[in-house]
Amino acid sequence: MKNFWENLQAKFQKIFRHDPNKPHKKHPWLWGIGAVVLFLMLYVLSSLSNLRTFLPYAGELTGFPFGSRNYLVVFQNNDELRPAGGFVSAFGVAKFQNGFFTGIDVQDVYGAVDNHTYVEPPYPMKQLLANQFYQGFTFRDANYWADFPKSAQELMQMLHITQPKLQIDGVIAVNYSFLEDLLGAVGPIDVDGKTFTQDSLFGMIENQVNDIDRHNVADLQNRKSILKDFAERLLKKIVLSPLKLRKVSDTIVHSLATKEIQLYFGNSSLQKMAQDNGWSGQWPQTLNGDFLAVVEANLGGMKSDRYIQRLVKYHVTEQDNPETGGKDLIAEVTIDIDHYGVEDVPLNGEYTGFFRTYVPRGAKLLDSQSDDPKSLWTQDDGLYTVFGNVVRLSPGKHTELYYKYQLPSTVMQNDQYNLFIPKQSGTDQDYYTVIFEAPEGLNISSPNFTPKENTGIYQQELLGDTWLSLNVLPDKLPPNVIYQAIEAMNKITIVFNENVSNSSAEDPLNYDLKDLNVSHPEATDYLQLDHIEHQGKTVILYTKNMTSQPEEHYQVTMKNLSDEHGNIIDPNPKTITVIQRLGN
């Protein structure tokens, strides 16, 4: 390849320069053309923004100079959400020959690609999709995994059943939301007398594909052919709008970053390029910490996800385990699901879907709650343990899923907590609240959690794959008294902000009691310590010789009391005052 470019450069020098320092006398007009070509090249390169990443791979991508490439392009309607983005409404094979794009033929998913023997579907497709016309697992349902390479490979395998001779070099998944954004970049387009805009795309396509005679087999099979005409007109307008190239490029880059476009390549170097840029939709191959993925599959038809909002709260508590001497991580996931739509069949109505929550493998389920507890489904899936529930929700209604589980001990190492949350392609309104709570007395340090003493809080709309981390810092602060009172005659209760050690809290030599004679100087109580009760943060001193002296002040002097990390009260000794207000 290097020799090719060197020879090409030598040929251009021969044309443009007779003398290296002088223009060629026979072709002075070529300098003007050369300047124009150079300007256009610089304009195109600057307009490509981050898409310039593809330039070093142009030959591998397009088969240049003497090869061919075929890429499966699937159009996903994310208003009917599926794990890899949305229901596959149409597909095409984009073809390149010797470095040149030769076209794409967009096809309906209800045609020849369905003409194969029965394939058993994954749970719970058969239960939720089955009717008299159901034919099992087909190409249009093959994007059932949010880890996009798995869905891409499944799509290729399902296409291979009906087109075994077609070589596919990669898969490009495109959501309708990207097409809407692309229309915003290039402007409206006309197809068969209809004007498509960014705001009208959804309604016009859905009305077009549903306004048919459903008893007409030909109409059913070709009901989404409008997508073919739309795609052709859109590509043509992009090519004929060079001044909008930068805006188109920025739209593509944004959609790659937010998983509205996902890429899979059979070529290892191209796949690594996509992974390194976060464009492959691939989940981690190894887990270094915690993992949480909420994945939805709309299996009830219609486009209800346009009106569904999901709020996810994830609360992880680090607890001391007295049996092992170590710490346990207890996680709680709450998924609030609201259906803000109205009844509008066939576009919107009763929602039926399957929600899967992926957590690190080995997590032990402690509790779960849903409207349909019998629908609970669990599975080990590679690196993950999966909790699933079928969700049914009417317009205007709300439901909630809840899981409580113990995380594997390997999730947290050396007081560092890491969490990876992958965004599901096709979602744009998911809001996450993540709370990590360490034992009281400890502190949190983090680049993305907001530290609140022993608690870290993260709240954000999930716009892309998200990595969070924090460190639990050693406790270097002494225990502080947060409550003191005489709760009954001869009973003084003291509460600290954290657990105090048994050895220091239960040693009677660490306490001294004195009547201050503030309200009743005529009577002095010579208090003696009888016994001590201690649990966690609370120390109760039972005394002798306390008499009834309303509003009398007593002094308690403590020394050498420490928390469970060895931090001693400050100052040491520490003096507090309690007042006798019994019966008030």
Q: Which residues face 391 on adjacent strands?
A: 353
In a domain, 281, yes or no: no
Examine the domain organization and report whether 297 and 209 are in the same domain: no
Examine the domain organization and report whether 119 and 230 are in the same domain: yes
**Hunting for tokens 């009677």 — which residue is that?**
508
Examine the domain organization and report whether 208 and 242 are in the same domain: yes
In a domain, 148, yes or no: yes
In a domain, 52, yes or no: no
Examine the domain organization and report whether 93 and 231 are in the same domain: yes
In a domain, 262, yes or no: yes
Examine the domain organization and report whether 76 and 12 are in the same domain: no
Q: Are 316 and 407 in contact (CB under 8 A)?
A: yes
pLDDT at 449: 98
Examine the domain organization and report whether 263 and 304 are in the same domain: no
| pTM reported for the whole predicted model | 0.82
Q: Are 71 and 63 in contact (CB under 8 A)?
A: no
pLDDT averages per 10-residue partition of the chain, 584 residues? 49 46 47 51 64 90 93 94 95 93 87 92 92 88 97 98 96 93 89 83 65 42 63 81 87 93 96 96 94 96 88 94 80 96 75 97 97 94 95 95 96 94 94 94 93 95 96 91 96 94 96 96 95 96 96 97 93 97 76
Examine the domain organization and report whether 22 and 123 are in the same domain: no
CA separation (Å) from 246 to 49, 140, 235, 239, 510? Answer: 7, 33, 15, 12, 74
Q: Which residues contact 447 (CB under 8 A, 6 or more apart)?
A: 469
Examine the domain organization and report whether 512 and 373 are in the same domain: no
> HSE-up of 529 (CA within 13 Å, CB side)?
20
In a domain, 283, yes or no: no
Examine the domain organization and report whether 264 and 169 are in the same domain: yes
pLDDT at 319: 87
In a domain, 255, yes or no: yes
pLDDT at 463: 92
Q: Are 92 and 110 in contact (CB under 8 A)?
A: no
Examine the domain organization and report whether 242 and 344 are in the same domain: no
pLDDT at 210: 47
Q: Taking the C-alpha atoms of 280, 285, 286 and 291 in order, what is their torsion angle to the nearest 10 degrees?
A: 50
Last residue of a domain, one of 276, 298, 315: 276
Last residue of a domain, one of 473, 501, 521: 473
Q: Which H helix or E strand runs over 392?
A: strand 384-393
Q: What is the CATH number of the domain that holds 147?
A: 3.40.630
pLDDT at 104: 85
Examine the domain organization and report whether 429 and 511 are in the same domain: no
In a domain, 284, yes or no: no
Pairing of strands 68-77, 170-175: parallel
Q: Are 76 and 91 in contact (CB under 8 A)?
A: no
Examine the domain organization and report whether 190 and 310 are in the same domain: no
In a domain, 318, yes or no: yes
Number of domains within the chain: 4
The reply to whether omega before 373 is within 30° of 0 (cis) is no
Cα distance between residue 138 and residue 147, in whole Å: 19
pLDDT at 92: 92
Residue numbers of the domain that contains 468 = 290-473
Q: Which residues contact 130 (CB under 8 A, 6 or more apart)?
A: none
Cα distance between residue 377 and residue 399, in whole Å: 18
